Amino acid sequence: MREKPTDREADGVFGELLNEGQSIWLDYIRRDMLENGELAALVDEGIRGVTSNPSIFEAAIANTDLYDEDIRRMLEGDAVDGPTSLYEALAIHDIVQACDVLRPVYEASDGADGFVSFEVSPLLAHDTGATIDEARRLWSAVGRPNLMIKVPATPAGIPAIEELIGDGINVNVTLIFSLNAYRDVVNAYISGLERSGDPASIASVASFFVSRVDSEVDRRLEEIGSDEALGLRGRIAIANSRLAYAIYQKAFSSDRWERLAEQGARPQRLLWASTSTKNPDYNDVMYIEELVGDNTVNTVPPQTLDAFRDHGKVTADAIESDLAQARADMELLAASGVDIDDVTDVLIEEGVKKFADAFDQLIEAIDSKRASVA
């Protein structure tokens, strides 16, 4: 099943991951790393993609002076008509540059890797039509084949995903926490490919969130306080992810999928997101080491990247190591009184709100900076 990478030398710890079928992406973007060659150096080391979100751009634009000169120039040239327009212009500039840095990876891997993700406004998470319109507009504005448009796996996002895949737009489906939502995402991807005129040209990832599951589940287990409940802490996020990977394997080996594969279609890779360890008592690279799997992606923030480079270990097919235990852990969780469906419902609601709040803060900060720069 596994194909060894042929597009680059696989060396170092990131090369070890690539040899096991997993790509490491960087969950971070900032203007200076594009201009000083830092991102290019990371690509040379083995980074295969970049993800972004409103929180990342808020920190980059609002908390540094890296963008001040561009803001001044755009204001003087009347190139923007408000803070949202100004944000988009700044962000698109960075996304285009990042796509160009990753373009050699994209071309060498024949379009299998080398992507940069850019999110539709989280304020549209519950509006299917507006999400589709904005995704099409951003796709056109960036104009790079190795762009992925991020769309959340909300009930409104699912039909948007199918529509956009049918249009031939690469999609990074974000904020997936539950197995049921993941099934809906896979179906939307496959249905979109079936509507597409050229399924071989489309790529997609399904961003399955990890550490936030443990954070919420652990809080509930600690409230219960029994030995059995406390013994499950730090285990449920990985168990949930292992069950998602089993769904992936079944979905992308079905007869329905094989008909698309014959046309050159690629499976929608699972991407492990939210992989920085929130609990300092846990192994700081556990959400990488435990989730190594064929044809997957792991997107990590800079501090987790540094930690894995320093002391991470790669175990072949770690994601498949104990599926029976993963199922048993989920059964024990239910028996302890924690409803995983309620957990994931809370998490997607919080996730949408977190990104929407970050977007609002970003726009407010840009408006303030616009005034000070002007």
Indicate the fold that domain 12-373 takes in CATH.
TIM Barrel (3.20.20)
pLDDT at position 78: 67
Between strands 269-273 and 147-152, the pairing is unpaired
Q: What is the pTM of this model?
A: 0.94
Instruction: Write down the pLDDT at residue 7.
Output: 54
Judge contact between 27 and 300, C-beta under 8 A.
yes
Q: pLDDT tens for residues 137-156?
A: 999 999 999 999 999 999 99
Spatial distance between the Cα atoms of 189 and 183, rounded to a whole number of angstroms: 10
Eight-class DSSP state of 201: G
Distance CA 112, CA 203 (A): 7
Question: Does residue 187 have a pLDDT over 60?
Answer: yes
Catalytic residues: 150
Give the pLDDT score at 374: 64
Q: Give tens-digit pLDDT for 305-347.
A: 999 999 999 999 999 988 999 999 999 999 999 999 999 999 9
Burial 160-183 (b: 16+ CB within 10 A, else e): bbbbbbbbbbbbbbbbbbbbebbe
- Calculate mean pLDDT across residues 177-200: 97
Residue 11 pLDDT > 80: no
* Residue 365 pLDDT class (50, 70, 90 cuts): confident
Q: If you write DSSP's letter for every residue of 322-368 in order, what string do you get? A: THHHHHHHHHHHHHHT--HHHHHHHHHHHHHHHHHHHHHHHHHHHHH
N- to C-terminal Cα distance for the chain? 57
Burial (Cβ within 10 Å: 0-12, 13-18, ≥19) of residue 69: exposed
**5 pLDDT tier (thresholds 50, 70, 90):** very low
Q: Is the pLDDT confidence value at 62 over 90?
A: no
CB 264 within 8 Å of CB 193: no
Give the position of tokens 């990247």.
Answer: 305
State how far the alpha carbon of 74 is from the alpha carbons of 66, 79, 151, 233, in Å. Answer: 14, 5, 28, 50
pLDDT at residue 304 in the model? 97
Q: What is the pLDDT of residues 213-244, one digit of tens each?
A: 999 999 999 999 999 999 999 999 999 999 99
Mean pLDDT of 16-43: 96
**Across the chain, what does the average pLDDT equal?**
94
The confidence band for 79, taking pLDDT boundaries of 50, 70 and 90, is low
Alpha helices by DSSP H, 225-280: 227-230, 236-251, 255-261
CA count, 13 A, side-chain hemisphere, 26: 27
